[in-house]
Amino acid sequence: ALSVGVLALQGGFSEHLHSLRRAAADLNRHVNCIEVRTPEQLSACDALVIPGGESTTLSLVAVQSNLLEPLREFVKVKRKPTWGTCAGLIFLSEEASSTKRGGQELVGGLDVRVHRNHFGRQRESFVTDLELAFLEATPSSSKPPPFPAVFIRAPVVDKLLTDEVEDRSAQNHVATETGLPSPVVKSRAAKNAKVEVLAVLPGRHASNEAAAIGDISAVAPKGDGDIVALRQGNVFGTSFHPELTDDVRIHTWWLQQVLQATSLN
Ligand code: GLN
């Protein structure tokens, strides 16, 4: 059976475990869901979720737990499916801006720069309905119902560090299985996979900084959105917290991708 780990050093790991178990039940699959605190536990995983929390703390505890290098190997050498939410997305980015106390160790894997605390302080947290074209349409509608996205001191992707980009966020675009590259890079020698932009936040939240960055407007459908969901090869990231809602569609989608990629389906 598939073993999916949730990094359990800090932050919202129990909520992710709960959502993953519900998603596995929805798919009628047996999935071992593992709390990961040691390199040994990580090595038992076929895929990993890195939860939200506080990314500088996460980074410090990972270093203390001797997990930083094993995580880098898991994500960037073994290229196992890995999903980061919020602080987890920060941890999986190659660069993070707005770190008050200077640098923080990052795992990397996503060729992007994130802007931490993009929307401001805790009280600027919000929930908004997002159109997520990559989720499958239900039989009764031509596009998937909106997803209630919870943003808590959330980061956004404010710079792409690669030219290899595909915009898949367009709201009228319904993803098909054949249109999706496998989340695992088949040839490990190949250069990095392209960045797929999976969701942008409509313009009302766009910051001046993001709007000023040419890379973003080149890929955002309306030219003014902040990137809040993306994938690059085996690495998936969301700025928001799907584990804090009852809606497990993203967990189910991701588990399906993992099952396909690990050919355990
Ligand atoms: N602002 C946090 C950070 O920079 C992330 C917040 C979250 O994960 N909800 O790490």
Rounded to whole angstroms, the Cα distance separating 96 from 115 reads: 6
The Å distance, Cα 227 to ligand 1 centre, comes to 16
Which residues form the pocket of ligand 1, taking CB atoms under 6 Å from any ligand atom? 52-55, 86-87, 90, 116-117, 152-153
CATH code for the domain in which residue 137 is found: 3.40.50.880
Is 103 flagged in the annotation as binding?
no
Say whether 29 counts as a known binding-site residue: no
ipTM score for this prediction: 0.94
Using the structure block, give the residue that is written with the tokens 């040994």. 40
Mean pLDDT value across the chain: 84
- Domain around 182: 2-261
Average pLDDT over residues 68-76: 98
What pTM did the predictor assign?
0.84
Burial of 104 per CB tally in 10 Å (0-12, 13-18, 19+): middle
Strands 165-167 and 235-238: unpaired
Active-site position among 15, 16, 33, 86: 86
Model confidence pLDDT, tens digit, residues 114-141: 999 888 877 778 899 998 999 976 677 7
Q: Which has the closest alpha carbon to 98: 125, 121, 75? A: 121
Contact call for residues 265 and 35 (beta carbons, < 8 A): no
Alpha helices of 171-248 — where are they, by DSSP H? 208-212, 214-219
The total number of structural domains in the chain stands at 1
